[in-house]
A and B are shown apart, each in its own frame.
Chain A
Amino acid sequence: MVQILVYGAVISAIYAMLAVGFTLIFGVARILNLAHGSFYALGAYLVYSLTADARLPLWLACLLAVPLVGAFGVVVERVLVRPLRRSMLAVLLITLAVALMVEQALLLIFGSEARNVPSMVDATYHFAGVDISAQRLLALGGGVTILAGLWLFMQYTRLGSAILAIAQDAEAAQYMGIPSDRIYSLVMGLSAAIAASAGILVAPFQTVIPSMGLLPLVKAFAIVVVGGLGSIPGSILGALLLGYSETIIAFQVSIEWSQIVSVAAVFTTLVLRPSGFFGKRASF
């Protein structure tokens, strides 16, 4: 039971980090970003490259990787997405192209073998029958901190208010003098940075391979469908539901069956409540 609680919390925190960024950019800019998993992969690979190739200390590599991926997100929005934003289909295709391009670039540069990102903390904790590495607890703590920071930013800063205003009514916000294009870029950068943080935090105990962005994208997609596309609270609730459901199935039934949870969740949601739990426009 304690095992399910602890491991479920870790996996939910990671899923929440992935889903929040994905839903944020959709909620604000109506961009269904299929390159979201690429930001996650880039975060992990940048840390690998900065530590293994550039020989930087791990903490510095992590601190550099997050803004670098954020900047990449801004470039993607500014150069590739913005000219096509009028067409949802064109945006989908261009972000898919970015995802494929990133994966192929990683494959060419690093090859197909898994790369090792060292643990930020090496300890292992044993309590109440649970063996858990400190790195997983760090991922949990990091995830909660990032999400709390995002909430504070959205609620208590002028920029956060501007983002909320755009999300509620982009046209009205523009009339009020809020520069929507700049906000879209900023949100894309923010979304990329959060995904990169997730990639960095899980890289030491997950697979760092060029295709590592695909599964997180699928999970993020499933979570936002369950939680409601465009809703941050919905994404957090969806992440908790999916994270704990998978963990319970893995512990109580079989690890083999845990992967089907996200598919079942999407299917059930689309049949019973197509808009998800909080699927209203601008429901921050």
Chain B
Amino acid sequence: MKRFLFPSIAVAMLALAADPADRVMAQQTKPIRIGVNTAIQAQVGRDAIDSVKMAIDEINAQGGVLGRKFEMIVADEGEAATDGPKVGIAAVNKLTSEDHVDVLIGGYDSGVTLGELPHIARAKTIFLGIGSASPAIQQKVKEDYERYKYIFRVNPINSARQSQALINFITGKLKGDLGYKKMSIIGENAKWVQDMVPAIKKGAQAAGIEVPVAEFFDVQTADFSPLFAKVKDSGSQYLIVIISHGSSDVFVKQWYDAKVPVPIGGIDVKGMDANFFDRVGGKSIAEVSANFVLRAPLTPVTVPWWDKFVSLNKRPPVYTAAGAYAAVYIYTEAVKRAGSTETDAVVKELEKTDFVGPAGRVQFDATHDVKDGPGFVNLLFVQWQANGERVVVWPKELVTGKMINPPWLAQN
């Protein structure tokens, strides 16, 4: 046995020593791996994947970055409402420890993303969030920078800032322009909404608006009639709704079918989908649904990006697509500036990001969260109108049309 042992060790050592330049070269030319962790069965997930692919193809066609091409590996986060965070955690662990990705782009459900964070931090892998909105995610960076510095949010605006934008809509448009003084607020019982409803209620009350109903509903709710009855009986003039994982389709259909004499609007994530109006048989008419991106000249790249996505995928994109596309370019630019894919160096460069993407100009604040407001990414309040047309009704500087009432109510 000994006869073979020493020669074997010698051969192995020689092999290891042989031409380290070759190995470095191989390292430098191997593709940069982007791991996409998302809910692949949902449109938010499919659009994220297709948008990452679109950006990768564009960058690879120009020779990649630092002479290296990009490749994408997708892992399913599952359906948050039924799977919880376990599928997402498994996806992140697979991408980081088995596929050894250089960067993660993804996330949709805040509860799932929060469950994934310790695993991402332990793997010391950069994560560019494009779907989850809870402020608690970026709060981790503030609480323990060294551990969580890899976590960035490109998209969407966090839910606390969304709440503020919604309060501005309530006070500026609904009270200021339309004179409503009594509104109800309902939201699904999910992590990202739990802080929003009390904050919006407080903001509305501070502006002198009466809020008779402020309630949560389960994401599995299949019958909204009791809520509609309560809101109607309360004498509310408008119903603010915050819904993402719950069934927006059922919500608007039941609202329309019962001809509830109260207009609806707020943050309806599925209501952001371009095909939502058709999907519910036109019953979302007059619903105002906050959105981050639509085919409008928000930035010079919005319309060309939108049209290219539609021509490649034969469907219009949702908000995660805008974030995913921007995330690939933001990472590419940071790698270019850092001169390597070394994580700590790229993190430093990501912090200096100033990128104009489809949804707006992206800069990160001290918690690595995307900045919002004039000149940055904005929350647009978009109303479904006749024939599925979408009209921006707020903020004032971006308005593209007049806000209407549902057909069974008198027009303003």
User: Do the two shown chains form a genuine complex with each other?
Assistant: yes
Chain A interfacial positions (CB closer than 8 Å to B): 3, 7, 11, 107, 111-116, 118-119, 124, 126, 129-133, 135-136, 204-207, 209, 211, 215, 247, 250-251, 254-256, 258-259
A-B contact pairs, 24 of them (CB 8 A): A7-B229, A11-B223, A107-B41, A113-B43, A114-B247, A114-B249, A114-B250, A116-B278, A124-B257, A124-B259, A126-B259, A131-B228, A131-B258, A131-B259, A206-B222, A206-B223, A206-B250, A215-B222, A250-B223, A251-B229, A251-B230, A255-B218, A255-B227, A259-B221
| Nearest CB of chain B from residue A255's CB, rounded to whole Å | 5
B189 within 8 A of A: yes
Interchain CB contact (< 8 A) of A133 among B215, B249, B250, B258: B258
5 tightest CB-CB pairs across the interface, nearest first? A133-B257, A250-B226, A114-B249, A112-B41, A131-B258
Q: Is the CB of A204 within 8 A of B215?
A: no
Interchain CB contact (< 8 A) of B258 among A111, A124, A259: A124
SS of A interface (majority): mixed
Interchain CB contact (< 8 A) of A205 among B233, B257, B270, B279: B257
Closest residue of A by beta carbon distance from B39:
A112
Chain B interfacial positions (CB closer than 8 Å to A): 41-43, 79, 82, 189, 215-218, 220-230, 232-233, 247, 249-250, 253-254, 257-261, 270, 273, 278-281
Question: A256 to B193, alpha carbons, bound, how many Å?
Answer: 14
| Nearest CB of chain B from residue A56's CB, rounded to whole Å | 17
Closest residue of B by beta carbon distance from A121:
B257
- Assess A256 versus B216: contact at CB under 8 Å? Given A115-B279, A131-B232, A215-B222: yes
Closest residue of B by beta carbon distance from A210:
B41
Most buried by A among B82, B259, B260: B259
Closest residue of A by beta carbon distance from B282:
A116
Question: A255 to B253, alpha carbons, bound, how many Å?
Answer: 18
Interchain CB contact (< 8 A) of A259 among B220, B229, B257: B220
Most buried by A among B43, B249, B260: B249
Closest residue of A by beta carbon distance from B259:
A124
Residues of A within 8 A of B281 (CB): 116, 118
| Nearest CB of chain A from residue B92's CB, rounded to whole Å | 21
Q: Is the CB of A255 within 8 A of B41?
A: no
Residues of B within 8 A of A259 (CB): 218, 220-221
Q: Is the CB of B42 within 8 A of A112?
A: yes
Residues of A within 8 A of B220 (CB): 215, 259
Interchain CB contact (< 8 A) of A114 among B224, B225, B261, B279: B279
Closest residue of A by beta carbon distance from B222:
A206
| Nearest CB of chain A from residue B219's CB, rounded to whole Å | 10
Closest residue of A by beta carbon distance from B226:
A250
Question: A206 to B229, alpha carbons, bound, how many Å?
Answer: 17
| Nearest CB of chain B from residue A107's CB, rounded to whole Å | 7
| Nearest CB of chain B from residue A119's CB, rounded to whole Å | 7
Question: A118 to B229, alpha carbons, bound, how many Å?
Answer: 23
Residues of A within 8 A of B233 (CB): 129
Closest residue of A by beta carbon distance from B408:
A124
Residues of B within 8 A of A131 (CB): 228-229, 232, 258-261
